[in-house]
Structure 1
Amino acid sequence: MPEDRKPPIAFETTCTVAAPPEVVYAHLADPRSYIGLSPLIVAVDDVRHGRDAEGRAVADYVAVERFRLVGPVRWDNRIRVRMVSTRPGDQLVSDVRSPGRVTLRAVVDLTAVTDGTRVRERVTANAPAPLRRFVATQARRVAAYRAAELTRRMATR
């Protein structure tokens, strides 16, 4: 099957955190919060806040993903991210463009529940055939880590 006809990589993660939606939203809407929230993100640069044509809050930034290869060898991958508050206070959509023709979209929905906030993240990604397995594995690993780290961070607030 040609690369452009392959279905996107798609999965979902859900966790419940011990903080109200407005606290979780404020944390996730800050690009710098992703340093350490994702195990790969080591820096966030060039953050620009604004509004899109529909008046929604937008944050454009560059995140640096650090991949450890062999021993001390590492690769710093600079990815461009556009985060849009599609439903202020309860939904964020992040579109990621990475070198190598890799794209990823993460839609995060926040729902108030009795013991805090349910955080549901739906991820879709596309990558060229040689990178698909690596991208799928990394994206799933990062999403699971992010859910656990967000749960930890919100428990200490």
Structure 2
Amino acid sequence: MRSFELTVFINCPKETVYDHLSQPLNMIGLQPLLTEIDVLKERRDTDGIVLRPFYTVETFRLLGLPVYRNRIYSVIHLTKPKDELKFHVYSKPRIEIVFTYRFEQFDDVGTKITQTVEFVKLNRLLEKFVVEQAKQAQRALLSNLKIRLEKQ
């Protein structure tokens, strides 16, 4: 399975960063292509892990005009509250990606976030494009998260 990771440090308490990322509505503004979000009912899996499902729409533009709208189903798994969470992302055609976030306190008020992106299923024809988009989304999300939380 193909994967890559990125680490960022945010001057904000670990619990605050975790709580922010664990809420689907907070994705608005963190990912540049995200134009719509529809949060579904929270539930638990058979192991008691909290699941927060939601749909998003990414809008791809050309010369400022929308040319493609991609509807994506995502589920946040609160695997280790305050220490780790996972986003399971499902998209057409046959794309499944898991974004794992690990949170570590550093200094007294900072958080080290390591995000690992793992491609579970990947359409061979779109592989290069999907991997590049995932890398861009990863950098944008972590940069925007840092800016947002350090302003508070």
Among 39, 58, 63, the residue aligned to 2:56 = 63
Residue 113 of structure 1 corresponds to: 106
Q: Which runs of 4+ in 1 moved over 3 A?
A: none
Percent identity over paired residues: 30
Cα root mean square deviation, aligned: 1.3
Among 26, 32, 43, the residue aligned to 1:33 = 26
Contact 1:9–1:136 (Cα < 8 Å) also in 2: no
Give the C-alpha shift of residue 78 in structure 1.
Answer: 0.8
Give the C-alpha shift of residue 71 in structure 1.
Answer: 4.7
Residue 148 of structure 1 corresponds to: 143
C-alpha separation between the residues in 2 aligned to 1:138 and 1:77? 13
Contact 2:59–2:66 (Cα < 8 Å) also in 1: no
* TM-score, normalised with respect to structure 2: 0.93
Q: 1:69 to 1:89 in 2, by over 3 A?
A: same
Contact 1:101–1:127 (Cα < 8 Å) also in 2: yes
C-alpha separation between the residues in 2 aligned to 1:37 and 1:79? 16
Among 12, 17, 35, the residue aligned to 1:19 = 12
* TM-score, normalised with respect to structure 1: 0.90
Among 116, 123, 133, the residue aligned to 2:117 = 123
The one-character-per-residue Cα deviations of 1:53-100 (angstroms, maximum 9, x if unpaired) are: 111111011111111145513211111111111001111111111011
Matched, 1:135 2:134: no
Q: Where does structure 2 lack aligned partners over 5 or more consecutive residues?
A: none
Q: Where does structure 1 lack aligned partners over 5 or more consecutive residues?
A: 1-7
Q: How many residues align?
A: 150
